[in-house]
Structure 1
């Protein structure tokens, strides 16, 4: 009997040890088991139709507005500023043409260095210290899984451990309750006061359902990205590049599906490659609303991971430095094609002259895809507040209203888009609501002179706080307890830390940061995961003790 008991104990211990060794595979398999297998095939969208005839001439009504937002696009991913992936091999002619047809803001900043809060700032023109929407919503359990996977890969990555705050989980609302409060006033709601038909297409990521979803936040219609695959993984037209060094990528492949929904209805499969599908449907909306002013928020998932390209684009790109770079390059080609098709449709429909198009990215390119040049010449990545994480392309094109070939050198930010689009439409800003952004249309039209729209711009993600005041930029990073001061006028790529040499400037800017935080509200929910980011090293090569590390809270 003792032998049997001992043998059983050994077996249990052995199984426990095996489960521990395979714990990451087990957790990812459990995540994958939650995928839906019953998603219906694509169904045509019956878009609302505008009037058969225009009630006013195009010149007598407000302009149509199309906002095209890329996801995780690196500053050097487009060829507009002389860059382009693969040392300039990959060109973005349609995005370049859009920029040259209007104004390029050469110092444009995202609201923050991650997806959702940036989108909320675009929609509202307000900092998270006012809205409380400071962190990207994450599915239940994702923080714990990412921590587990990241720590299991430390021997490969060389990175310090991620920090998971299990004690804060009780304060977290469910995923579908992590949203921008419905009491906030969005640009869609503002434009509706001027008779706009408002449509969201693509990624929303600021909440779901009757309070937080796009329909609840001022959009008459919403074609929503319901999950996260660009194509089914086994689609014959898909080329996939999995990142075996990135814990988030492992979670996405395990959990994400190929799905969309219309007006918060049932899920269904999109039609073809996601960027093409969103563009097809945006074109249908343009045609359906030819005779009334409309606002389209075309919010692409491209070029966000998981890295998936359409095979035709992959073949056209040809060999690159690595397989993942080739897939990523093909995704950029798809994004550029989308911009070109939107512009071409407006011209074909005779609508280009009375349409304002804005193009930007929600934040800088991520280091976790392992491509070191995407934010060149800037340091840092998405999930850091170095310039590489927050400097983004931002272009506006409005024929006859914004001079072609214009450039604005003054710093501007995503929070400026809401008041700017309202001004272009002739819409009043909401009464009793403090708007942090300013109308930059005069700057775009060459009427702003040498004035700066902002003396001071703030960023904040829990203990990682940054301020740019004139050309001075201070970064205060709680973990690992670092302070960086840069003079961007002489050091735009943040190479020389002046914190020790200029304690007076550090004190001045720190007071601005402290006052900004003290004047605001607490976040709606806490950060539960803090992940280490190597500022000067893309993931995929092993970090060393000499690497500059900043922890990003979310």
Structure 2
């Protein structure tokens, strides 16, 4: 009898130990993304005006991703690629405020939640409306009910989310009267104001009305940090998506942050200041992770959803690259990015390996020891061989589509398609020799160009079939 009890207890201890070891090996995952932050808008990419000390510190702790690409040159499509591993043209989110996350899509949050992760979304969603009853943001309310697809129906159990953009300071308010789409001076406490028109919602589908004043990045982080703390208390791995609104227009910086750029005009001071305020919250997050002793087993990614605002007079910088938001040249899709993963990623390193937001899903699932969906085409790849084994060449090209433009990018070359029907034009650029994309090398590589054209058109056709529902049969 004693031997039987002892054997049973031994088995129980072994099982519990195995479970604990497996849980300990599954990394926490944080995906941070800014909105319209240009490649050249951070200190770790060489900006000497905008103060980003906390992001720069993270870059020193981890790896700078020099060739990291947003899945699209605009907001919503890139966000979809982050959580599906698929190009947004496969499920109809081809532009901002277009389509919604379909229930048939398997999101990263759903896969991780099923494996025991706590999942949270904080900030901008932009993958569907968040209410069917109240007029909200761009499409929310009865008229946009068909586009209802909130994060809490896509695998996120804790949410503090908006449908779309808000001002970067006092996010629920704007000045009474005509307000500039660029932004305005931070409102005084008793200043005449009116509701901005976009609301924050929680996972119960309830409008949030408290703690919404001041810096919007801080407002978001005030909700994200308790989620991390609760996860640590429950000893559960977590998947935390923090999608800042900064620095999407309208940009507004609080007095403290605007004063840091006193020599700049209002527009530029607001832009620079709201980025510095966001950076401060990234530092706050990192400090809390360390205090919770959760930093060593956390994979923290940072990027932007596309290049800087397309108007060339806007303050954002695409660095040395041609184009901006809405362009498929490098300035519209190559974004500032870094990865911190202590124990896995050597501090102070950089990589030129081409990566894209669609790579998140296969990479994170693989890191967690979970299966990657095999029942539908994925456009992302597992990056662990790059991060852990030093793989240097990407064999699966990256495809992009937007309006009447498309691009197909290999390790070295990028084929750019522009124009409509009879006016279609294909250009070929050597990104390693010509990252500015100023020299079309089509004549020097005619066979390569034809090969890439064929691959691009087949991929576009594949995306069209996916969007028709073929992947859901």
TM range (shorter): 0.7 to 0.9
Task: Determine whether 1:312 maps to 2:256.
Answer: yes
Aligned counterpart for 2:150 among listed residues 207, 213, 216: 213
Aligned position for 2:246:
302
Aligned position for 2:208:
268
Aligned position for 1:335:
278
Q: CA deviation at 1:431?
A: 4.2
Aligned counterpart for 2:230 among listed residues 265, 280, 288: 288
Q: For structure 2, list consecutive stretches of 5 or more residues without a partner in the other structure.
A: 1-18, 132-147, 184-192, 469-473
- 8 Å Cα contact 2:271-2:315 kept in structure 1: no
Aligned counterpart for 1:279 among listed residues 221, 228, 241: 221
State how far apart, in whole Å, the 1-side matches of 2:31 and 2:434 are: 32
State how far apart, in whole Å, the 1-side matches of 2:444 and 2:204 are: 55
Q: For structure 1, list consecutive stretches of 5 or more residues without a partner in the other structure.
A: 1-54, 139-177, 245-252, 526-554
Q: CA deviation at 1:254?
A: 10
Residues 435 and 193 of structure 1: CA distance in aligned 2, closer, same or farther (over 3 Å) = same
Task: Determine whether 1:183 maps to 2:104.
Answer: yes
Residues 473 and 226 of structure 1: CA distance in aligned 2, closer, same or farther (over 3 Å) = closer
Aligned position for 1:200:
121
Range 436-445 or range 514-523, more displaced? 514-523
- 8 Å Cα contact 1:358-1:396 kept in structure 2: yes
Residues 498 and 369 of structure 1: CA distance in aligned 2, closer, same or farther (over 3 Å) = closer
Aligned position for 1:64:
28
- 8 Å Cα contact 1:243-1:369 kept in structure 2: no
State how far apart, in whole Å, the 1-side matches of 2:294 and 2:453 are: 48
Aligned position for 1:497:
440
Range 196-205 or range 510-519, more displaced? 510-519
Q: CA deviation at 1:505?
A: 3.8
Q: CA deviation at 1:373?
A: 6.0
- 8 Å Cα contact 1:206-1:212 kept in structure 2: yes
State how far apart, in whole Å, the 1-side matches of 2:450 and 2:315 are: 34
Q: Which has the larger radius of gyration?
A: 1
Task: Determine whether 1:488 maps to 2:431.
Answer: yes
Q: TM-score, normalised by structure 1?
A: 0.70
Task: Determine whether 1:365 maps to 2:329.
Answer: no
Correspondence 1:47-446 to 2 at 5 A: 56=20, 60-82=24-46, 84=47, 88-137=48-97, 178-208=99-129, 212-226=149-163, 228-230=165-167, 231=170, 232-234=172-174, 242-243=181-182, 256-257=196-197, 259-263=199-203, 265-269=205-209, 270-272=211-213, 273-290=215-232, 291-320=235-264, 322-368=265-311, 370-371=313-314, 374-445=317-388
Q: CA deviation at 1:258?
A: 5.0
Aligned position for 2:3:
none
Aligned position for 1:34:
none
Aligned position for 2:7:
none
- 8 Å Cα contact 1:464-1:476 kept in structure 2: yes
Q: CA deviation at 1:61?
A: 4.6
User: What per-residue deviation string (whole Å, max 9, x for no partner) do you get for residues 78-118 of structure 1?
Assistant: 01022x2xxx1222111111122112221111101011111
- 8 Å Cα contact 1:408-1:444 kept in structure 2: no
Task: Determine whether 1:459 maps to 2:400.
Answer: yes
State how far apart, in whole Å, the 2-side matches of 1:463 and 1:134 are: 11
Residues 196 and 235 of structure 1: CA distance in aligned 2, closer, same or farther (over 3 Å) = farther
Give aligned pairs, total.
414
Q: TM-score, normalised by structure 2?
A: 0.81
Q: CA deviation at 1:401?
A: 1.7
Aligned position for 1:155:
none
Aligned position for 2:416:
475
Aligned position for 2:463:
520
